[in-house]
Amino acid sequence: MKTASFIRSFISGKANKGHFYRKSLLFVVFVACIPTAVIGISSYFVGSKNIEHEVNRTHQLQLKKEIQRIDESFSQLELSLTQWSQNPAYGSKLRNLDTVQQYADIQDLYKSILTLKASNPLIDKVALYVEGPSLIITDEMTERLTEAKEKNDFASLLQTKASVFWTLPSMNLQLKQNGSSLVLVHTLSGQGIKPFGALLLYVNPRKLESLVKNASSEEKGTSFIVSGDYRSITPSPSDNRASQELQTTLSGQLASRNNNESTFIYDFQGEAYSISTGVSNRLGYPWIYVSATPMSNLTAPVVLISRLMIGISLIVLLLALLLSWFASNKLYKPIQRIVRLIQSDNVTTAAADRGSGDEIELIEKRWQYVTRESQVLHERLDRALPALKEGFMLQLVQGHLQGLSENEVLDQMNQYGWDVEGKVFRMMLIQLHGLSNLDGRFVDGDEQLVTFAAANIIEEIVGKRVEATGFSVINFRDLTVGLLVFFPDTVSGESMKRDLYHLSNEMLQSLKQLLKVSVTISLSKAARSLVHISHTLNESRQALRYRSIEAEHAIIDTEELLPEGQGIVYPFDLENEILQTLRLGMLTESDENIQKFLVELQKQAVKEGSVKQGMQQLLGSMLHVMLQTGFNPENIFPGVNLYEQFGKLREPKEMHQWFKDKVVTPYVTELVQVQDFYIKQLITKVADTIHREYMNDLSLEYFADLYGTSTVKLSSSFKQIMSVNFIDYLTKIRIGHIKELLVTTDMKINDIALACGYQPTYFNRIFKKHEGVTASEYRDTHKNAVNASS
């Protein structure tokens, strides 16, 4: 009953599915049924043709093997006859042979002939012909030729230029064949020039027929040999008239084809035969081997299988109809789920789309809408990407990402499109100076403009030289441009340095020519870790202090910087780590780094004065960092002369403890107090902005740029103070306003979503995730409740 009901519903077009389902069902039925029938029918025709071709090829290979076997037999006969012809018994003394007086010689000839006959099963008879007395000597008798025809035919053998040759049936020679159609002849001349006789081997016709017949393994087939003029060499089978006629017909067919090595199909008396031919040269004359095999014997198994496949195909056809209906329903289920999801996403547009009745058309419309929205978002992202990359790189080189691990920084750089895996990093810091000497070419406030122009020039130059390795240009907007170059870690240090010097010289010339400014470039050491890139920037900045005032242009390499003729013993890398941890208020890490710094100074400096001088330099750098972060050292250390206190210390252990207790701890304590207050104020400002501007495109990146902090620090601080992460808080505020608009207004759901900062395609999923129902269901439920209460 259910099947009949479905069929009636399908035929009338009222099945509970759209047009696509009915079309797909018909298509599946067609795809499942038709090929099965086509395969069964085509296998009979196409398969037969292919097998015919393969059989012909196989027969040709088989014939070649048989030709080789037959040739070996004939070659053995020719070799044996040639060897026996050298026997002294067949010498020139036979010219005047007297059968009566030379009885003993006649007996020796009998024995020799009998031995030669027994040497090969193909030999039917061996005869010795002597021209002088006109004698024929065989293993059985000695006979004198009397008939003129026989005398002439035997004598003609001696007139042949070749010493060894075959006589064929087509020559019509009477050589006492006695049924043998093939005779091998070797003339005898002894030591003379003119032959006086001949040695003849008569091939056994029955053995020859059996030898050639093996080339065709089928009973109805036939095999034979013809000469170059297509005359028969082997005898025709006397007991099979059909084979005789086939041989005669094929000889004529070969003569007309004029192709002695080929394979073809030939129809004879309603039977198709596979004909294979091959050629062999016998003593300078072509012999053509022919094999004919009935095609019916070869293709019979294929025909049976093909017919069986057609029968099976009919059975499978019925099964395919049932499986097609079942498969169509299974295949339709995912499409049905997508349609339901689309319809639930927007009730108004879904009702309009449902009228089309075609599920694919509905999905296509929704997909086009989502694609347009995606393109808009991608365009916005593409416009914002350069600024995001520049901001990320500034944070990286300035050390603001020290809180991230190496893998986290690597992932972010890969997302921004930088290939930095397996790379070594070198920082080049380009400083512009001499603007005041340009006679009014630039005025105060043009520093950012000049730096921007220099950054563009540098980017164009570097893009032509190191595109394959990778680079990033950083505009510090203070007449300083940073260039971070990525080298493969397989490149040697000398090669990197050579490339950087070439690049530096090219940038010097271009900037001098275009901007008319003086340029100093400092080259940092190689950094093999992303988190150490900020150290290379600090190192390059410190190296700029060694610029000569008189030099208009200079290139400073930190690896070769040797003040006062001595190697640099001051551990800049460790100083950078100390200053970075100090900026972040990391008390334990700062203390550990100071201990490493002191140990490194002790290794490199022999004198106590050198160690104290290095530590005093570190103290000055730390006080400078405090000023940079907005703290006045006089307020942190009131009434204390730090340099005077440090000057009284002598032991390294005392120095380390003094730095920890008197410098780092007071500063970190003050920093934490101020940071807590600042962070609370910052998070309060962010929350107030969300309440006011929830309808706009708000993100962590937006607020981080707005308030000059990092996204990682802002995210962790927001969750710590608000007890909820940024996205959830923003979503909560937006959902609250959306619910209010759903109940109190008649605005369309799409308009409400846009008004609250959501795209319509994304809005319904967010709302259902937080409220458990769609926006339309929420509106209906709460409006009914309001109406009921009123």
Does residue 565 have a pLDDT over 50?
Answer: no
Does residue 567 have a pLDDT over 60?
Answer: no
Q: pLDDT above 90 covers what percent of the chain?
A: 4
Supply the pLDDT for residue 562.
Answer: 44
CA–CA dist 162, 346 (Å, integer)? 104
Within 10 angstroms of residue 745's Cβ, the number of other Cβ atoms is 12
Does residue 141 have a pLDDT over 60?
Answer: yes
Q: Which of 172-181, 397-406, 646-655, 701-710 has the lowest mean pLDDT?
A: 172-181
Q: How many residues does the chain have?
A: 790
Does residue 356 have a pLDDT over 60?
Answer: no
Supply the pLDDT for residue 665.
Answer: 92
CB 525 within 8 A of CB 558: yes
CA–CA dist 81, 310 (Å, integer)? 62
Does residue 98 have a pLDDT over 80?
Answer: no
Does residue 702 have a pLDDT over 50?
Answer: yes
Within 10 angstroms of residue 568's Cβ, the number of other Cβ atoms is 14
The CATH architecture one would assign to domain 88-297 is: 2-Layer Sandwich (3.30)
Dihedral pair phi/psi, residue 290, rounded to 5°: -125, 130
Model confidence band, residue 15 (pLDDT cutoffs 50, 70, 90): very low
Supply the pLDDT for residue 550.
Answer: 60
Question: In the structure encoding, which two tokens stand for residue 459, read together?
Answer: 């980017």
User: Which one-letter amino acid corresponds to residue 639?
Assistant: G
Model confidence band, residue 72 (pLDDT cutoffs 50, 70, 90): confident
pTM of the model: 0.39
Model confidence band, residue 614 (pLDDT cutoffs 50, 70, 90): confident
Dihedral pair phi/psi, residue 182, rounded to 5°: -130, 125
Does residue 152 have a pLDDT over 70?
Answer: yes
Supply the pLDDT for residue 1.
Answer: 45
User: Which one, of 358, 360, 390, 482, lies nearest residue 432 by Cα?
Assistant: 482
- Specify the residue for token string 């032991």: 651
∠ CA 647-649-651, nearest 5°, is 140
Summarised one tens digit per residue, pLDDT across range 428-485 is: 889 887 765 655 566 666 778 888 888 899 888 888 776 546 888 888 888 889 888 8
675-695 mean pLDDT: 85
Within 10 angstroms of residue 2's Cβ, the number of other Cβ atoms is 6
The chain-wide mean pLDDT, for the chain, equals 78
Residue 35 vs residue 164, higher pLDDT: 164
739-764 mean pLDDT: 88
Does residue 16 have a pLDDT over 70?
Answer: no
Dihedral pair phi/psi, residue 521, rounded to 5°: -120, 125
Supply the pLDDT for residue 514.
Answer: 85
Does residue 335 have a pLDDT over 80?
Answer: no
589-596 mean pLDDT: 91
**Most confident range, picked from 94-98, 150-154, 528-532, 658-662:** 658-662
Summarised one tens digit per residue, pLDDT across range 245-300 is: 778 888 777 877 777 777 788 888 778 887 888 888 887 788 888 888 787 766 66
Which are the contacts of 572, defined by CB distance < 8 A and separation ≥ 6? 535, 538, 539, 542, 558
Supply the pLDDT for residue 788.
Answer: 66
- Helix 711-722 to helix 726-744 angle (10° resolution) is 60
Which are the contacts of 503, defined by CB distance < 8 A and separation ≥ 6? 428, 461, 462, 465, 466, 485
Dihedral pair phi/psi, residue 420, rounded to 5°: -120, 5
Question: In the structure encoding, which two tokens stand for residue 741, read together?
Answer: 């608009």
Supply the pLDDT for residue 51.
Answer: 63
Model confidence band, residue 592 (pLDDT cutoffs 50, 70, 90): very high
Residue 191 vs residue 70, higher pLDDT: 70
Does residue 134 have a pLDDT over 60?
Answer: yes
CA distances from 641 to 56, 100, 583, 638, 750 (A): 110, 156, 22, 9, 68
Does residue 616 have a pLDDT over 80?
Answer: yes
Supply the pLDDT for residue 729.
Answer: 92
